Amino acid sequence: MMMPAAEETSSVPRRGLATRTFRQPRACLSAGWLVLLVLASVILPLTGLLHPLTQNPAAILQPPSSAHWLGTDDLGRDILARLIYGARDALALSLEVVAVSVIVGAPLGLWAGFGSRWGDWISARFADLMLAIPGIIVLLAVVTIVGNNMPTTMAVLGVLVSAGIIRLVRACTQAAVKELYVDAARVSGLSGRRIAFRHVLPNVAGPLIVQASTIAAISLLTLTGLQFLGLGPNPPTPSWGGLVAEASANIYRQPWMMVPSGLAVILTVLAFNQLGDALRDALAGPGRSSLLAPARNAVAEASRRTAEANRRAGSRQPADSDAALIVKGVSVTAPLNGGTVTLVDQVNLTVAKGETVGIVGESGCGKSMTALAILGLLPSNVTFASGAVIIGGEDLATMTDNQRRRTRGTRIASIPQEPMTALDPNFTVGKQLTAPARRLLGLTRGQAREEALRLLHEAGIVSPETVFRSYPHQISGGMAQRVCIAQALIGKPEVLIADEPTTALDVTVQAEILDLLRGLQREMGMAIVLVTHDLGVVADICDRAMVMYAGQIVETAQTRQLLSTPAHPYTLSLLDSVPSRTNRGTTLPTIAGTIPRPEKWPISCRFADRCPLVRDACRTQPIPLIRTTGGAYSRCIRTGELRQPGTLPAGSELEVFEH
């Protein structure tokens, strides 16, 4: 019963794979060259037109001509004919190596991959042995024993390179065995061998072909190398390596001879490698599905009209001469299918010295992008489209990269979301603190050490000396976040951007880190922008908060006001979905639906599709930020009609799920 489903999953990606591989021009060119070689070496002997051994003393060492397209050698033999006759050995023997390596390596790899300890041990020792001597030396020893018998010698090469196949098949099998459907097949009573053939091999096939193409390339190079040394077929018989040797013997008299033989080998090796690379790329990523193109125009239009609406409404953010950070009309765009989408749309924000402002929203609302835009550290494919980021009277957005770099650490710094990955695993905590301390503060080695230890102590670390000497993998997540905070504070920044600084931490550690931030802010007076999805964190530490939805600010207010009397339906929905005393024991409401993808953001209210209060008017025009009470702003035309949070009326359109 499990079988059809399992076969479905394994065969579908394979069908697409060939298409994705040969959609790449290099794959077609490579395959074309190989097919051409095969056809030529099969057809030419049948026609009897050119013969590789026919000598012509009247025309020796000639350059290309209409009679001899690739010229002639020192006995007047046609080089093209010799190349084509030599191609048969070159291709057939390379494929022989591939075949032998797969026949030897695949079963051993499967055996090891299915968890047999014996299989694992034997294949590992086999690989050790195969890698202990350069392959060509082994082949030379084989030639001594069997003479110039290339099929046998190449079979030995196949055994030598099978070590790589074993390793690959073993890894792929182990991965496949972990997949659920193999368990299912096992439960339904299939034998190990049938599981291997029906479920594991199809998944190994792709990587195996990639490896096989590499082996084909190596084999051709090795084979022609042996032929070059004179260990190939005996003299009159043409071989590619032998042709290069003949060319090198005539290098003073006719250098042209180097070209055809060399190109034949180079192009064929290139073809094997490029086919492998194309297949690898095809395996790596399923083609990006095309998204609706018109949508991005709608968003660009929406962005423009929103800006216009804002201007008309005269909405202005609270301005303060005491401001540490002023963000004005910041928009961020990203490329999509040849156009652009707006990810952050006209965001304004002012943070005073010593103030903490939260940016709140679900994932995908643009809050992290806003934070990165302020820091000037947007991902490489994302563009800072417009706006100003003013710190200490200077606009970071108009600075050169180098000027902006110099503001980081001293004027603006950040605290990461994942402290464990935010520290370089290859350096000690101490190194990661003293290096910026020396650079930012111009300290000596000893002073930097003192400063680092002081900051670690400040950040609430009980034994700074121990942590200083530790590597990141030796400390806990909470400790790592304290280190990151210490790092951010080295240059005494005026503005600190904290992107979900407690999300990755245990609940008890979260509260400690927030306490620490609050204490440090009181001491140092920096402005903090705190990005979070957690209204609890906002309530705990923020003076003001800004709610974002689909790239726009939908509400800003003092924290107390925002939590008690929200002015936007989205804020209200967020509050209703927070577990609290009032809704304990009842089902927890969630907001139906998710934030739409950026290319689908409408011109009008972006929350309309999920809003319980939506009206026709919400869907026709851009909604500006409207001033409500107490210096708050809301992007909602029905802001006056909102109820209190936690008082869910009967028959509410908010969907209610069992929690």
Question: Using CB under 8 A, which residues numbered 392 to 411 contact another protein?
Answer: 405-410
Task: Please identify, using beta-carbon distances, which residue of 195 and 489 lies nearer to another protein.
Answer: 489
Task: Please identify, using beta-carbon distances, which residue of 493 and 589 lies nearer to another protein.
Answer: 493
Site string for another protein, 94-133 (x = CB under 8 A): ----------------------------------xx-xxx
* Residue at token pair 């550690």: 509
Task: Please identify, using beta-carbon distances, which residue of 303 and 532 lies nearer to another protein.
Answer: 532
User: What's the Cα-to-Cα distance from 400 to each of 147, 374, 376, rounded to whole Å?
Assistant: 69, 15, 11
Helix, strand, or coil (residue 386)? strand
Task: Please identify, using beta-carbon distances, which residue of 413 and 595 lies nearer to another protein.
Answer: 413
Tell me which of 106, 161, 196, 484 binds another protein, using CB under 8 A. Answer: 484
Please tell me the count of residues contacting another protein according to CB under 8 A: 71
Tell me which of 19, 463, 474, 476 binds another protein, using CB under 8 A. Answer: 474
Residue 657 interacting with another protein (CB under 8 A): no
Residue 137 interacting with another protein (CB under 8 A): yes
Q: Considering only residues 250 through 289, tell me which ones interact with another protein, judged by CB under 8 A.
A: 251-252, 255, 258, 261-262, 265-267, 269-270, 273-274, 277
Residue 30 interacting with another protein (CB under 8 A): no
Residue 650 interacting with another protein (CB under 8 A): no
Q: Considering only residues 145 through 204, tell me which ones interact with another protein, judged by CB under 8 A.
A: 145
* Residue at token pair 């095309």: 290
Residue 140 interacting with another protein (CB under 8 A): yes
Tell me which of 229, 307, 539, 637 binds another protein, using CB under 8 A. Answer: 229
Taking Cα atoms as reference points, which of 592, 595, 499, 593 lies closest to residue 549? 595
Task: Please identify, using beta-carbon distances, which residue of 279 and 490 lies nearer to another protein.
Answer: 490
Q: Considering only residues 360 through 389, tell me which ones interact with another protein, judged by CB under 8 A.
A: 375, 377
User: Would you report the helix, strand and coil content of the chain in percent, each value rounded to 5?
Assistant: 55, 10, 35
Q: Are 478 and 509 in contact (CB under 8 A)?
A: yes
Task: Please identify, using beta-carbon distances, which residue of 111 and 240 lies nearer to another protein.
Answer: 240
Task: Please identify, using beta-carbon distances, which residue of 103 and 251 lies nearer to another protein.
Answer: 251
Q: Are 414 and 371 in contact (CB under 8 A)?
A: yes
How far is residue 234's CA from residue 242's CA, in Å, rounded to a whole number? 9
Report the nearest approach of another protein to the CB of residue 101 (Å).
17
Order of strands, edge to edge, in the sheet holding 356-360?
412-415, 495-499, 527-532, 356-360, 544-549, 552-558, 633-634, 626-627
Taking Cα atoms as reference points, which of 322, 354, 320 lies closest to residue 517? 354
Is 214 exposed, middle or buried, given 0-12, 13-18 or 19+ CB atoms closer than 10 A?
middle
Tell me which of 28, 60, 61, 136 binds another protein, using CB under 8 A. Answer: 136
Task: Please identify, using beta-carbon distances, which residue of 67 and 141 lies nearer to another protein.
Answer: 141
How far is residue 358's CA from residue 366's CA, in Å, rounded to a whole number? 13
Q: Which residues contact 37 (CB under 8 A, 6 or more apart)?
A: 87, 91, 268
Strand partners, 394: 391
User: What's the Cα-to-Cα distance from 128 to each of 123, 141, 216, rounded to whole Å?
Assistant: 9, 19, 22
Q: Are 222 and 208 in contact (CB under 8 A)?
A: no
How far is residue 480's CA from residue 506's CA, in Å, rounded to a whole number? 13
Residue 135 interacting with another protein (CB under 8 A): yes
Among the listed ranges 102-110, 143-151, 535-543, 645-653, the one in contact with another protein (CB under 8 A) is 143-151
Residue 247 interacting with another protein (CB under 8 A): yes
Q: Considering only residues 542 through 581, tell me which ones interact with another protein, judged by CB under 8 A.
A: none
Strand partners, 530: 358, 498
> Helix 240-249 and helix 79-113: axis angle, to 10°?
130
Tell me which of 334, 359, 422, 623 binds another protein, using CB under 8 A. Answer: 422
Q: Considering only residues 436 through 465, tell me which ones interact with another protein, judged by CB under 8 A.
A: 436, 439-440
Residue 336 interacting with another protein (CB under 8 A): no
